[in-house]
Structure 1
């Protein structure tokens, strides 16, 4: 069966398709906003409730330990303190994976710096991957929706470099020319086919990124680099949502 020529589609059908596409884009944007808000709320609850409780327990345990003289009791108290510290660190990492508070209070540059530093510390020794970040000098504020989209792009790019690209080096680069924001995650891994097949943007993480960018008037591309490696790029209009 031959596909219809796009140049000869019924104008009414074109209008309906355009309206349907716009409605779906708006719906996806709304769902992602709700999802982000829920993640932010959950991260805040983990910080205010579980995190505070664990910190208080660690302090109480330290006070109790000062009154112990038995070697076995002191050893057990130290084991408990180590366990509590591990829980606190796990809780902190879960909070960060859900929502980066630095994005809200200090901006996208601080959030990206923390994300890349955490990634390098966690995976550098185990996987031999080096992570770097390059940021603009200006400390301009961006709408939260843009900041979230850029941060999610960086997260997805880092995951791909680690799990699929088998990269040794990955760099997160944020550029702002006054008209557009461009975030690129560039690695020296195995890369993607050239040109990148449409399927490369069909995995759930990349599809969500594409929809986030589309809702903000931007786009996402995945390309192979000369000499190997790949680059995931998100471009957003600078004044979107301002």
Structure 2
């Protein structure tokens, strides 16, 4: 029986490659949908809330000084609008960080890490390279998503008081590290966690797809 001149790849290898390619495509589609939704929130809801704030300020000027009830109600409405605007801003940021698109990965990480730390009551800092680096849009998105998912896991499971996000780029290899001073995953729970932490598994596959 004659062996083939060129060994054929195992069927499983082809399937894994196809799945990785499909996953990369689907993830890129998800990111684009998130970007578009964030833009819609900014352009429609954000603009409407800003207009309402201006109209409320104009109406408040016409409330008589001695009408305390109306002035109190106006102040409550102003506070409510401010809260809605801030919630909208946070939703936009969770969906898509415009700094990634316009200023680059370093700027996006520099904003993400301290904001996450303030929101979770954890001391957080980002250690970033001096140079911006020439990352493709896909690379930047995946690295930012990895940082976000890593921080989410720290908040949910680590019980940490300090966390550091480190981006290393020597020109040939890019490494993103999220380290904290919390508790690690107990060895007997590792298998269960590997089955349940779909977010981390998805990011691992996305990073593998990038090469």
Q: Report if TM-score (shorter chain) is over 0.5.
A: yes
Q: Specify the alignment match of 1:220 in structure 2.
A: none
Cα distance between partner residues in 2 of 1:34 and 1:161: 27
Greater percentage in strand: 1
Across the two proteins, how many residue pairs are aligned to each other? 202
Partner SS, residue 27 of structure 1: helix
Which residue, out of 63, 70, 73, partners 1:76? 73
Query: Secondary structure of the residue that 2:10 maps to in structure 1?
Result: helix
Distance 1:164 1:151 in 2: 20
Distance 2:99 2:188 in 1: 36
The Cα of 1:71 is off from its aligned counterpart by 1.2
Alignment counterpart, residue 110 of structure 1, candidates 107, 111, 129: 107
Give the deviation of 1:140 after TM superposition: 2.1
Aligned-pair distance for 1:151? 0.7
Q: Which residue of 2 aligns with 1:3?
A: none
Q: CA deviation at 1:44?
A: 0.3
Distance 1:139 1:100, change over 3 A: same
Structure 2 residue 165 is the aligned partner of structure 1 residue 172:
yes
1:44 lines up with 2:43 in the alignment = no
Instruction: Give the structure 2 partner of residue 131 of structure 1.
Output: 124
Alignment partners' CA distance in 1, 2:102 and 2:52:
28
- Pair 1:152-2:123 in alignment: no
Is 2:147–2:178's contact at 8 Å kept on the other side of the alignment?
Answer: yes
- The CA RMSD over aligned residues, in Å, is 1.7
Task: Measure the CA separation in 2 of the matches of 1:201 and 1:147.
Answer: 25
Q: Deviations over 1:71-129 (max 9, x none)?
A: 111110110010000000000111111110100000011100111121122111xxxx2
Match of 2:86, SS state, is: helix
Of 140, 151, 155, which aligns to 2:133? 140
Runs ≥4 in structure 1, deviation > 6 angstroms? none
Q: 3-state DSSP class of the match of 1:18?
A: helix
Q: Is 2:88 aligned against 1:91?
A: yes
Question: Which moves more between the two structures, 87-96 or 14-23?
Answer: 14-23
SS of the residue aligned with 1:164? Answer: helix
- Which residue matches 2:29? 34
Aligned with residue 121 of structure 1, among 103, 118, 122:
118
Q: Which residue of 1 aligns with 2:181?
A: 188
Q: CA deviation at 1:196?
A: 9.2
Unaligned runs of 5+ in 2: 1-6
Q: Comparing both chains, which one has the higher relative contact order based on Cα–Cα distances under 8 Å and sequence gaps of 6 or more?
A: 2
1:30-84 CA distances to partner (integer Å, 9 max, x unpaired)? 1001000000000000000001110111011011101111111111011001000
Q: Which blocks of at least 5 consecutive residues in structure 1 are unaligned?
A: 1-10, 218-242
Q: Which has the higher helix share?
A: 2
- TM-score (norm. length: structure 2): 0.91
